[in-house]
Chains A and B, each alone.
Chain A
Amino acid sequence: SYELTQPPSVSVSPGQTARITCSGDALPKQYAYWYQQKPGQAPVLVIYKDTERPSGIPERFSGSSSGTTVTLTISGVQAEDEADYYCQSADSSGTYRVFGGGTKLTVL
Chain B
Amino acid sequence: QVTLRESGPALVKPTQTLTLTCTFSGFSLNTSGMCVSWIRQPPGKALEWLAHIDWDDDKYYSTSLKTRLTISKDTSKNQVVLTMTNMDPVDTATYYCARSLGSDDGFDIWGQGTMVTVSS
- Contact at A88–B107, with CB atoms within 8 Å? yes
Q: Contact flags (1/0) for B104-120 with A, using CB distance below 8 Å?
A: 11111011110000000
Nearest chain A residue, comparing its CB with the CB of B96: A42
A88 CB to closest chain B CB, in angstroms?
A: 6
CB-CB contacts below 8 Å: B84-114 with A: 96, 103-108, 110-113
Selected contact of B113 from candidates A42, A44, A98, A99, CB within 8 Å? A42
Q: Does B67 contact A (CB under 8 A)?
A: no
The interface on chain A, measured as residues whose beta carbon lies within 8 A of the other chain's beta carbons, has a size of 25
Q: Contact flags (1/0) for A76-88 with B, using CB distance below 8 Å?
A: 0000000000101
- Contact at B46–A88, with CB atoms within 8 Å? no
A33 CB to closest chain B CB, in angstroms?
A: 3
- Contact at B46–A96, with CB atoms within 8 Å? no
Q: Contact flags (1/0) for A60-93 with B, using CB distance below 8 Å?
A: 0000000000000000000000000010101000
Taken together as a complex, chains A and B put the C-alpha atoms of A83 and B104 apart, in Å, by 25
Q: Contact flags (1/0) for B28-45 with A, using CB distance below 8 Å?
A: 000000000101000000
The chain B residues found within 8 Å of chain A, CB to CB, are 37, 39, 46-49, 52, 60, 62-64, 96, 103-108, 110-113
Given contacts A35-B47, A96-B49, 7 further A-B contacts (CB under 8 A): A1-B64, A31-B105, A33-B106, A42-B96, A42-B112, A48-B106, A97-B49
